[in-house]
Amino acid sequence: MAAITPETLSTDVIAKPSAPLSPLVLGIRRFRRHRMAMIGLGLLILLMLYISFGGLFARGYCTPIDKNLSGEPWSDCNDLSLKLKPPSASHIFGTDVVGRDIFARTIYGGQISLMIGVSAAIVEVVLGALVGALAAYYGGWVDSILMRFTEAMLTIPNLFLLIIGARFFGGGLPDFKLFGRELTGSVVVIILIIGATSWMYLARIVRANVLSLRERDYVSAARALGASDSRLILTHLLPNTTAPLIVSATLGVANAILAEAYVSFLGLGVQGSTATWGNMLDGAYRYLDTAPWLWFFPGTLILLTVLGINFVGDGLRDALDPYSTRHL
Amino acid sequence: MTNYILRRLAQAIPQLFIISIILFVLMQAFGDPIATLGGRVPPRPEDKERLRRQLGLDQPVYKQYFTWLVGNDWQKIDMDGDGVPETYGKRHGVLRGDWGNSLVTRQPVLRMIGERLPNTLLLMVTAEIVIIIVSLALGLYSALRPYSTFDNLVTGLSFVGYSMPVFWLALMLMYIFAVNFRRWGLPYLPTVGMYDPQVGKTPWELIKHMVLPVTTLAVISIAGYSRFVRSSVLEVLSQDYIRTARAKGLRAMFVVLRHALPNAALPFITLIGLDIPFLLAGAVVTERIFAWPGTGRLFIDHTERADFPMLMGILMLISIAVVVFQLITDVVYSFVDPRIRLE
């Protein structure tokens, strides 16, 4: 055995004063030790690969317009002679009621579903943070009005609000283009409705957090230095509630994807030829026994996505909450 | 206690008013209920005009809300459109027990809801019993063997259950237990409705028709609840009085069932009490898939027709149920947990 001298010791064995670990590094470490979160992350990465590169494999010969198509036009090619065909080599997930390739539609629908999920979660977080922070910061009658409103919204079951909202705003917006893709206005409607019906819990969490932060010395100091209300809220109070915001936003994406699926399942979701995982399921239950591939593939993709996001959200909750010691 | 209940009720009333205003405003711009009336023959424009006047839909929103709330039987309304009010209104308003008539069937809203409510409650109560028993059993068993294979399996499955879209679960259950069991020649379960018209309204038929919807409703709640029971049992098991009970030499089973479970069940009561009214809402999709003639399906069917008195009726009754259950939960909690004092 070689003699141990200071020179042979590798540098990281010697205890040297290292830089203090930032909360971010600690958080990432805790997250990486969370087994389920890592499984969820892996699942999500696979799904992202599926919806981003799966399109490369979606191609075929579209008989009605007599052309070889690939990418999104292929997902919209409806060949009525091929309707409700079971999975086969040319259509690995089968075809839908108007003869479109389900495999291609799950890919492009997945992109829209995820976009709806993420955008709705952003709307939710902005609304929730705004209502919660304003209520807690100003207190008094602002607080009571906002919180009574929040309570009232919480009392009405979410799905009913979604259904009414979808009817209320449905079809009111024109089609638009995004990243070169034609999208129906109902995509925006669905995003706004899901965001507008899901911010209530977040508002309560933010309010409770800001209430406890408001009286801290650093806030008084900032106020004494002449910081404006908006500066206090945006740079001193809200950044200190980042952890619950991130966790809620993550879980919000999962809930928004589910909400889109429910609303679409009831026939009130995204309209037109734009595919989403939700509206691929619209009416599919009528083909329960004759064409199970209609609902099985989009439904399973929703399940896997929501599962992955929930795993990651659970991991983030444990990683970002310094008081939580679960799963460690 | 009486004071507390009275004060809570006094707080609940303005809350219900706010809810009714939010809902009523949403309803008004919901679409024109007249446009969907009339079936195949579209009504003539002058008929539409007359109908709108008779139903009070030509009034501004705040007046319509007021009529909905307290009625209009003391004021004269212009029915024939000549600009002179001549007929007394017939509405008594929700506050006087008149929830209006459905625009589609012209029947009283309350009676129509009353016909459907027992069906929904039958589904809900059965599902709730299954949920409570199964999640207590699963949660308790997991907590007694934390991080065992069984516990990890239940944790994993509960995440799957929690992430599962209701309709996906319902369709899978139908596909396996109705479609495929029939194909394989096994005894299979029916998928739609409450009774088979060829067999008639026998209790056995009803039970067979309830299996799949109840399972669908129960699985998703059990997934969340069993985790909740597990963590509260684990917390209670680490308490000093459990150690004391064990040190006294009590049998392990007795400690768990008599000392740990009642304490761990306390937060569970709150959870269930607050969730019960929301189960009513969760049934919308389930009732739609299984063609169960309950209030959820009533709601969906009348949404398509923009039948706002009916929708207001269903939504307000559910909101009242939520508020009432919140109060009942608090009161029950103070009875079962003497440490809680309601002031």
Q: What is the ipTM of this complex?
A: 0.82
**Closest Cα in chain B to A302:** B165
pLDDT of residue A118: 94
- Tell whether the model's pLDDT for residue B37 goes beyond 70: no
Which among A145, A149, A260 has a CA at the least distance from the CA of A200? A149
**Closest Cα in chain B to A312:** B159
* Cβ within 8 Å of B, A 24-63: 36
**Closest Cα in chain B to A299:** B168
pLDDT of residue B74: 76
pLDDT of residue A326: 43
pLDDT of residue A14: 53
pLDDT of residue A126: 94
* Stated pTM of the model: 0.84
Q: Would you call A262 and B26 a contact, using CB atoms and an 8 Å cutoff? A: no
3-class DSSP assignment, residue A328:
coil
What share of chain B has pLDDT > 90, as a percent?
A: 9
The beta-carbon neighbor of B288 closest among A266, A295, A314 is A266
Flag the least confident range among A175-179, B50-54, B158-162: A175-179
Give the C-alpha distances (Å, rounded to integers) separating A280 from A81, A298, A312. Answer: 19, 7, 26
Given pLDDT bands bounded at 50, 70 and 90, which one contains residue A143? very high
Give the C-alpha distances (Å, rounded to integers) separating B136 from B157, B262, B309. Answer: 16, 11, 40
Interface test with B, best of A153, A164, A326 (most B CBs within 10 A): A164
Which residues, in sequence order, are CB contacts of B75 under 8 Å at separation 6+?
A: B85, B88, B89
Residue A173 has, within 13 A of its CA and on its CB side, a CA count of 20
- Tell whether the model's pLDDT for residue B40 goes beyond 60: no
Given pLDDT bands bounded at 50, 70 and 90, which one contains residue B59? confident
pLDDT of residue A328: 34
Q: Would you call A299 and B167 a contact, using CB atoms and an 8 Å cutoff? A: yes
Q: Is some CB atom of chain B closer than 8 A to the CB atom of A306? A: yes
Contact list, A152 vs chain B (CB under 8 Å): 15, 18-19, 22
Mean pLDDT of A306-319: 88
Mean pLDDT of A232-256: 88
Distance from CA of B134 to the nearest CA of A (A): 22
Report the 10 Å Cβ neighbour count for B42.
Answer: 11
Give the C-alpha distances (Å, rounded to integers) separating B81 from A187, A202, B37. Answer: 42, 50, 21
Task: Please calculate the CA angle B25-B29-B32 and round it to the nearest 5 degrees.
Answer: 135
**Closest Cα in chain B to A289:** B179
The beta-carbon neighbor of A258 closest among B165, B284, B319 is B165
Give the C-alpha distances (Å, rounded to integers) separating B89 from A93, A193, B78, B131. Answer: 60, 37, 9, 48
- Tell whether the model's pLDDT for residue A87 goes beyond 50: yes
The beta-carbon neighbor of A155 closest among B19, B164, B282 is B19
- pLDDT tens string A257-305: 999 988 888 878 777 677 888 888 877 778 887 888 888 999 999 999 9
- Tell whether the model's pLDDT for residue B184 goes beyond 90: no
Dist CA B343 CA B337 (whole Å): 14
Distance from CA of B96 to the nearest CA of A (A): 23
pLDDT of residue A262: 87
- Tell whether the model's pLDDT for residue A172 goes beyond 70: no
- pLDDT tens string B191-233: 777 877 777 778 888 888 899 999 999 998 898 899 889 989 9
Identify the H or E element spanning A50: helix A35-53
**Closest Cα in chain A to B280:** A157
Dist CA A254 CA B261 (whole Å): 33
Interface test with B, best of A156, A189, A286, A317 (most B CBs within 10 A): A156
Query: How high is the mean pLDDT of chain B?
Result: 83
The beta-carbon neighbor of A265 closest among B18, B27, B167 is B167
- Tell whether the model's pLDDT for residue B116 goes beyond 60: yes
Q: Would you call B281 and A168 a contact, using CB atoms and an 8 Å cutoff? A: no
- Tell whether the model's pLDDT for residue A323 goes beyond 80: no
- Tell whether the model's pLDDT for residue B237 goes beyond 70: yes
Distance from CA of A150 to the nearest CA of B (A): 10
Mean pLDDT of B105-110: 86
Distance from CA of B85 to the nearest CA of A (A): 32
What share of chain B has pLDDT > 70, as a percent?
A: 93
Q: Is some CB atom of chain A closer than 8 A to the CB atom of B278? A: yes
Q: Is some CB atom of chain B closer than 8 A to the CB atom of A157? A: yes
The beta-carbon neighbor of A302 closest among B168, B178, B323 is B168
- Tell whether the model's pLDDT for residue A177 goes beyond 80: no
Q: Would you call B30 and A289 a contact, using CB atoms and an 8 Å cutoff? A: no
Given pLDDT bands bounded at 50, 70 and 90, which one contains residue A254? very high
Which residues, in sequence order, are CB contacts of B238 under 8 Å at separation 6+?
A: none
Give the C-alpha distances (Å, rounded to integers) separating B201 from A99, B112, B194. Answer: 41, 21, 8
Which among A109, A195, A105 has a CA at the least distance from the CA of A153? A195
- pLDDT tens string B263-284: 888 888 888 888 887 777 667 8
Which among A27, A44, A33, A91 has a CA at the least distance from the CA of A307? A44
The pair of three-digit structure tokens given for residue A257, joined into one six-digit string: 């994807």
Flag the least confident range among A47-56, A112-121, B60-69, B72-81: B72-81
- Tell whether the model's pLDDT for residue A325 goes beyond 50: no
Supply the Cα-derived Rg of chain A in whole angstroms: 25
* Cβ within 8 Å of A, B 75-94: none
- pLDDT tens string A182-208: 677 778 888 988 998 899 989 999 999
Classify each residue of B329-341 as buried b or exposed e, where b means 16 or more C-beta atoms within 10 Å of its C-beta.
Answer: bbeebeeeeeeee
- Tell whether the model's pLDDT for residue A238 goes beyond 50: yes
Winning range, highest mean pLDDT, from A123-127, B43-47, B145-149? A123-127
Interface test with A, best of B8, B164, B169, B171 (most A CBs within 10 A): B171
pLDDT of residue B39: 57
Interface test with B, best of A160, A262, A309 (most B CBs within 10 A): A160
Report the 10 Å Cβ neighbour count for A42.
Answer: 13
The pair of three-digit structure tokens given for residue B84, joined into one six-digit string: 């002179």
Distance from CA of B281 to the nearest CA of A (A): 6
Given pLDDT bands bounded at 50, 70 and 90, which one contains residue B65? confident
pLDDT of residue B64: 82
Q: Using CA of residue A229, residue A235, residue A240, residue A242, what is the dihedral sign? A: positive
- Tell whether the model's pLDDT for residue B55 goes beyond 70: yes
Q: Using CA of residue B22, residue B23, residue B28, residue B29, what is the dihedral sign? A: positive
Q: Is some CB atom of chain B closer than 8 A to the CB atom of A261? A: yes
Contact list, B311 vs chain A (CB under 8 Å): 164
Q: Would you call A149 and B15 a contact, using CB atoms and an 8 Å cutoff? A: no
Given pLDDT bands bounded at 50, 70 and 90, which one contains residue A327? very low
pLDDT of residue A206: 92
Q: SS in 3 state form for A179-245?
A: CCEEECCHHHHHHHHHHHCCCHHHHHHHHHHHHHHHCCHHHHHHHHCCCCHHHHHHHHHHHHHHHHH
The amino acid that residue A101 corresponds to is: D
Q: Is some CB atom of chain A closer than 8 A to the CB atom of B65? A: no
Query: How high is the mean pLDDT of chain A?
Result: 82
Distance from CA of B83 to the nearest CA of A (A): 31
* Cβ within 8 Å of A, B 162-201: 162-168, 171, 174-175, 178-179, 191
Q: Is some CB atom of chain A closer than 8 A to the CB atom of B31? A: yes
**Closest Cα in chain B to A326:** B231
- Tell whether the model's pLDDT for residue A209 goes beyond 70: yes
- Tell whether the model's pLDDT for residue B132 goes beyond 50: yes
